[in-house]
Structure 1
Amino acid sequence: MKQTDFLVIGSGIAGLTYALKVAAACPDKKITIITKSREDETNTKYAQGGVAVVNDLENDSFEKHIEDTLIAGDGLCNEAIVEIVVKEGPERVNEIIEWGANFDKNSSGDFSLGKEGGHSEFRVIHYKDVTGKEIERALLDAVHKQPNIELVTHCFVVDLITQHHLGYLITKSTPDIECYGVYVLNLLTNKIEKVLSSITVLATGGNGQVYRSTTNPTIATGDGVAMVYRAKGRIENMEFIQFHPTALYQPGVNNAFLITEAVRGDGGILRNIHGEDFMHKYDPRLSLAPRDIVARAIDSEMKITGTEYVYLDCRHMDMQKFIHHFPNIYDKCLESGIDVQRDMIPVAPAAHYSCGGIKVNEYGRTSINNLYACGECSSTGLHGANRLASNSLLEAMVFAHRCYLDSIEKINTISFEAKVPDWNAGGTTAPKEMILITQSLKELKQIMSDYLGIVRTNERMQRASRRLDILHEETEQLYERTEVSPQLCELRNLITVGYLIVKGASFRKESRGLHFNTDYPQKSALVQNIVL
């Protein structure tokens, strides 16, 4: 058994920012960060575009950024939260710079600002086309300098520990559910251990691996969302899955390479298979319309032409500037046989970001006591029905800070729950065939991609629901009789995430933002969050 004061699950921008702040404010407290893979293998690492933040008050304003966020969110943003994130953002960015993160600057020494879909001004600060990787590097460097932070890698969190594990019956209506820590599978020893903590913070990232093609790394399996749902916590708006319009089209590749929206901000033009510019048919903002609109436009063009991709044309752009700003993209295209100076880039939408997640308040508190959530796994109210480009890293920093403010006020009022039993693996055996897990994962990805993609119908969702019920039943039986493995846990979590997406989409009798149902093509007059 391990005991810690603050337990952080996840080592991306949200988890690391929170840990650094707590470590500085509470030098006598112990902070433990747990991650299931390498310390830098996070969604943050793969973020290309940058951080949307107002720092040029001569040409930009908080009001403009707020308005752009509200428009993209299609009526479902919490306006108070939008104002908090936009106005607190500059200070949080300055902190991350003080920790060592670099951002590109122009010849005058000012930040080089990019413009992305849905933004009315140039306000996206970046480090070439590897902004997330640079932020991850700086934060990890800072974390390793803190003596009261322990970063534990290759430990898979299996479940949250609540009163349920003390023998109490817990339901969605149970008041004051409490989190006492987690059970983790140590991947080096293959043993399940318990980690008890006064405060637990989930910063577990996204769930893109529920789809066949995603820009997310393989670790993005919705673990935090699934664990909170199993613990009877509140989840909301899971139907709003953002598909990034422009992932590099590579047949058969699950983890799609992202072509950042900043390429279109610098002048890239979307064209169909015939080389025709098509965005004027869908939105006056052309290739820089919000992501939900661009993704549906591309989906429409692919169906019209019967192809699996469209093109992103960069041939007319200043190549010297392109290579300087997007060296990673330029090299990846060359590696794939595409010379952006001569060739158009084949692109197709891929699952990218979950706008819903664990329901939290303005300080990151979940519906479970002593449990916080920040970053992509949370639903703060900022994104509404569709996230504005490059608002995610900003949100993670702001809410990590707000989780920190709230939790250090509570830490000394919480005592450890010492009666938590050890994990009981009695009656389980080693799995005989891994194909039972791998095949179920393939089925899940196909179901979600075919029935819960960019465009949905009632019939598709009903079909998905029936098939997910079968997968759920089979996987739970497997979980009950076999020893826990990370593959089985991830499958179980992804099935739960798929169920939540289908359930939320089925309850939403309208089309709004990222959720487009051809049986309900109009927005409803009733603006509501779907809480599960």
Structure 2
Amino acid sequence: MGKALIKTDILIIGLGIAGATVAYKLAEKGLNVVVLLKGTSDDDGNTHYAQGGIVYKSDSDSPELLYRDIIEAGGGVNNPEAVKVISYEGHKILKEFLIDKIGVEFVRDEKGNLEFTEEGAHSVRRIIFSGDKTGKAIISKLIDSLKRFNNITVLENHIAIDLITWQYHSKDPLRMYKDRTCLGAYVYDERSGVVKNIMAKATILATGGMGKVYLYNTNPEIATGDGYAMAYRAGAELINMEYTQFHPTTLYHPLKKNFLLSESLRGEGATIINNKGERFLFKIDSRGELAPRDIVTRGIISELTATGQECVFLDASKIGSRDKLKSRFPTIYQTLESIGIDMSTDLIPIVPAFHFQCGGVKTDVYAKTNIKRLFAVGEVACNGLHGANRLASTSLLEGVVFGHYLSEFISKNIEKDVFNEFPDIEPWVDTGSEEVDPVLMKQDWDTLRATMWNYVGPIRTRKRLKRSLIDIKNLQLEIEDFYKEARISRDIIELRNAIQTGYIVALSAWTNKQSIGAHYRVD
């Protein structure tokens, strides 16, 4: 596909678990699907990095119990409809699609029964897993399964610049009076340098999260908040963006920065201690290490502030022998071993880091946004499932379940004759001519990420948030001028999106005066 104009039934931006689920199910219905990847299918998206597992249903579990746990972890501001879908339908869709159809292999006991692990804020053991690389096991199988479809085209090294809408991109000025409608996206082909108009009957944002906006995070480099920023510029509604979840157990080591240490470690018996060997988390919550992530994160930060220490420690020695740790957590064991840490005997230095955006583009359970023909699913979307704080191991399930709901809706409601409208759209014009200055780019990234971590981090104050708005707005004004003058490139697209997303988060945090879940204001 080297041409600058492409027409398709479905355009999916992103190929994590949500995007891959939708691509499979809509291709199965006979629709032509184009999928955009910023990188390659081997490394694109947060799904590859998900370690712990995915919520299922054990014999000791019930939909009512899962519903209660999700609501409690979310601070009571979850959308009941979305929580009910996950609680009552999630395990059925997971089994029918991931296990029976796609053939994802989860760990089983000697009798062939699924094994379950426990994580923070879960009442029972209900999480199935594939070692400590569950996300990779799922996405690898999903992507392999897509290869059998001739009606799926995957475009690697393609990054969406902006969504195409009547209101902003029509040659006819009277279109502004029509319903806000998405027709596709302007897409930059990094290999050829060409900007393509990809026009679609339905456009789906499955772009994942925004971890790179924060100085310390567990996300891959591609998580620059593209979906949030593009949706915002197109006029989509975003909600709950202040609910930025921070993971409490990230490796603190110069050779392996931002390496996630799965919550399953604590579910299997690992403890968190300070430099005196004290399990200090029980001072703030009776559940200790298995409290919700927001509580554990704040407990660690409070301990670091009080003691002046740079990190606390995860003690995994109580889980079992070296052989058991190697078998249950092979990726984590090998990573730690490579930097001289034996997790069967040594304490593991940890600090919190940004992990997941609980808010996003506002949708219903069918992934519909307030813009016609634009849908959002996965981490970029927010139907209220997570409320103010996500329950561990629900994100992978979210992608599968609401990807299924979205696919069912589109297959029944896709508009048939819309391609004749596309010539009304303006082609992309690159007005910039200057090469991007790498020194300026690095400085802007450093400023944004430090500002977000220091002022819009796990613990927030009015003064910090006010300062963040001033600093990021100034940065945004600078980058918009920079963007107009510079020749289009992936670097400038990502920086623009990250700054836009950072400002949205800061403004949402400033606006919400209450402390709920992951949004914690000490004043």
TM-score, with structure 2 as normaliser: 0.96
Cα 1:432–1:156, aligned 2, differ >3 Å: closer, same or farther? closer
Q: 1:200 aligns with which of 199, 203, 218?
A: 203
For 1:30 and 1:440, locate their aligned partners in 2 and report how far apart those are by CA, in whole Å.
Answer: 39
Which sections of structure 2, spanning at least 5 residues, go unmatched? none
Partner of 1:326: 329
Partner secondary structure for residue 123 of structure 2: coil
Cα 1:136–1:504, aligned 2, differ >3 Å: closer, same or farther? same
Partner of 2:154: 151
For 1:114 and 1:317, locate their aligned partners in 2 and report how far apart those are by CA, in whole Å.
Answer: 12
* Contact 1:51–1:126, Cα closer than 8 Å, also in 2: yes
For 1:271 and 1:421, locate their aligned partners in 2 and report how far apart those are by CA, in whole Å.
Answer: 59
Are residues 1:300 and 2:302 paired?
yes
Letter in 1 for 2:510: S
Partner secondary structure for residue 418 of structure 1: helix
Matched residues, number: 512
Measured on the aligned residues, the alpha-carbon RMSD in Å equals: 1.5
> Equivalent residues in 2 for 1:154-169 (5 A)?
154-163=157-166, 164-167=168-171
Please list the CA deviations of residues 169-196 of structure 1 after superposition, one character each: whole Å capped at 9, or x if unmatched. 799x977210000001101101111101
Partner of 2:45: 42
For 1:482 and 1:422, locate their aligned partners in 2 and report how far apart those are by CA, in whole Å.
Answer: 18
* Contact 2:171–2:426, Cα closer than 8 Å, also in 1: no
Cα 1:468–1:355, aligned 2, differ >3 Å: closer, same or farther? same
Deviation at 1:321, TM superposition (A): 2.3
* Contact 2:172–2:424, Cα closer than 8 Å, also in 1: no
Partner secondary structure for residue 148 of structure 2: coil
For 2:64 and 2:401, locate their aligned partners in 1 and report how far apart those are by CA, in whole Å.
Answer: 18
Partner of 2:12: 8
More deviation, 317-326/112-121: 317-326
List structure 1 runs of 4+ shifted beyond 3 angstroms. Answer: 167-171
* Contact 1:209–1:216, Cα closer than 8 Å, also in 2: yes
More deviation, 382-391/298-307: 298-307
Query: Identity over aligned residues, as a percent?
Result: 39
Partner of 2:65: 64
Deviation at 1:100, TM superposition (A): 2.2
Partner of 1:513: 517
Q: 1:393 aligns with which of 388, 392, 396?
A: 396
Cα 1:150–1:392, aligned 2, differ >3 Å: closer, same or farther? same
* Contact 1:53–1:86, Cα closer than 8 Å, also in 2: no
Please list the CA deviations of residues 123-171 of structure 1 after superposition, one character each: whole Å capped at 9, or x if unmatched. 0000000000000110011001111111110001000000111156799
* Contact 1:10–1:34, Cα closer than 8 Å, also in 2: yes
> Equivalent residues in 2 for 1:111-510 (5 A)?
111-163=114-166, 164-167=168-171, 176-251=179-254, 256-319=258-321, 320-416=323-419, 417-426=422-431, 428-431=432-435, 433-510=437-514
TM-score, with structure 1 as normaliser: 0.94
For 2:217 and 2:98, locate their aligned partners in 1 and report how far apart those are by CA, in whole Å.
Answer: 28
For 1:337 and 1:494, locate their aligned partners in 2 and report how far apart those are by CA, in whole Å.
Answer: 35
Q: 1:53 aligns with which of 52, 56, 63?
A: 56
Letter in 2 for 1:509: K
For 2:104 and 2:128, locate their aligned partners in 1 and report how far apart those are by CA, in whole Å.
Answer: 12
For 1:381 and 1:169, locate their aligned partners in 2 and report how far apart those are by CA, in whole Å.
Answer: 36
Deviation at 1:91, TM superposition (A): 2.2
Partner secondary structure for residue 311 of structure 1: strand
For 1:266 and 1:170, locate their aligned partners in 2 and report how far apart those are by CA, in whole Å.
Answer: 61
Partner secondary structure for residue 368 of structure 1: coil
Partner secondary structure for residue 114 of structure 1: coil
Q: 1:21 aligns with which of 13, 18, 25?
A: 25
Please list the CA deviations of residues 280-334 of structure 1 after superposition, one character each: whole Å capped at 9, or x if unmatched. 1010011000000000000111111112211001122212322211011111111
For 2:250 and 2:201, locate their aligned partners in 1 and report how far apart those are by CA, in whole Å.
Answer: 41
Deviation at 1:493, TM superposition (A): 0.5
* Contact 2:436–2:492, Cα closer than 8 Å, also in 1: no
